[in-house]
Amino acid sequence: MYYRSFIKPFIALPLLLSVAANAQNPLPFGDQLLTADPSAHVWPDGKMYVYTSHDLECQADFHMRDWYAFSSSDLQHWETHGPLLSVDDLDWADNFAWAPDAAYKNGKYYLVFPAGTGYKDRQNPEKSTKWMGIGVAVSDSPTGPFKDAIGAPLWTEPYANDPSLFIDDDGQAYLYFHGKNADYQVVKMSDDMRSVKGDFIKMDMGGYEPKMEGPWVFKRDGKYYFTMPENNRVLTYYMADSPTGPWEYKGVFMDSEHDSNNHHSIVEYQGQWLLFYHIWRMADWSGCHKRQRHSAVEYLHFNEDGTIQKVQRTKEGVKGFKPANP
Ligand code: FUB
């Protein structure tokens, strides 16, 4: 008896330390900083930048106020930047600082972000006054400070959030978003990124249009991928030969966890494809006894035919990241 209780901690401690040493998820984005909706980009300096929304501790109904960025060269050590922008800096919104995205064009960095005002009444939806739109902020630096570039949302109708920018090889920027009665639509951005040009294009999704959030588009080997949290939960994808479709549905590449929302981005870094997403975990420092959101990352692998292999959530993430093309 004495032997077992004496010996146990000596066995358990190295085990615990090795688990901690192998764990990278959630990403080490700073103590007591709750981040969600990670949008990852590699900019001309060769570093990885992840733009996130910021959850307030125990926040009610996704009332959120500002945006952050995190940068790294080795995906092990991260620098925190922010807040990059806050709803206090906006004349047209005072809440709902939701999932951002970013782009680099014409030597400037652009942050596209959803923000809104009003109140969502879940008991009596007809009394809701909540509205959301998409703004654009600009900076000379990838880590800000960002300034509202328009002083207004890009449009007021339709209600829209979760913007995602894709810039094709010819320099044309496309804005995908989640919109009320406007999902699976895309619009071209003007060259100065301060307005949209042309009409909203309703894309052909091959007849499969579940409720969506957080779209993300990327290109690999000449094929375009439209990825999204289907029904706000499982990550699914479509493929096409153009950024506006027609899209062919390809299925689920990450299952949901705890029946909670997910939001992701996909990027190639030094020859490795990566999936950034968020997980829901208890935070031991928080007085809030419920799961809260944290950013995470996994490797993403493709099959020979370009289809995406299913991704499992891991504690290790990309611990000990090894570039495929250093
Ligand atoms: O973070 C607020 C909202 O939750 C995002 O905009 C959605 O995609 C969901 O993750």
pLDDT per residue as tens digits for the range 140-161: 999 999 999 999 999 999 999 9
Q: CA nearest 99: which of 318, 233, 277, 291?
A: 277
Assess whether the C-beta atom of 159 lies below 6 angstroms from ligand 1.
Answer: no
Q: Which of 39, 56, 62 to mutate to test the pocket of ligand 1 (most atoms within 8 A of CB)?
A: 62
Assess whether the C-beta atom of 261 lies below 6 angstroms from ligand 1.
Answer: yes
Residue whose structure tokens are 């995470």: 296
Reported as a single tens digit per residue, the pLDDT across 197-208 is 999 999 999 999
**Global pTM exceeds 0.75:** yes
Q: Strand, coil or helix: what is 261? A: coil
Using CA atoms, how far apart are residues 277 and 36, in angstroms rounded to an integer? 8
Contact 15, 76 (CB under 8 A): no
Kindly report the number of other CB atoms within 10 A of residue 157's CB atom: 11
pLDDT > 70 in the chain, percent: 93
Assess whether the C-beta atom of 53 lies below 6 angstroms from ligand 1.
Answer: yes
Please, what CATH class does the domain formed by 38-299 belong to? Answer: mainly beta
Reported as a single tens digit per residue, the pLDDT across 73-113 is 999 999 999 999 999 999 999 999 999 999 999 999 999 99
CA angle 235, 185, 64 (to 5 degrees): 60
Domain boundaries, the chain: 38-299
CA angle 93, 137, 75 (to 5 degrees): 110
Q: Which residues of 244-265 are buried (b: 16+ CB within 10 A; e: fewer)?
A: bbebebbeebbebbeeebbbbb
Using CA atoms, how far apart are residues 9 and 24, in angstroms rounded to an integer? 24
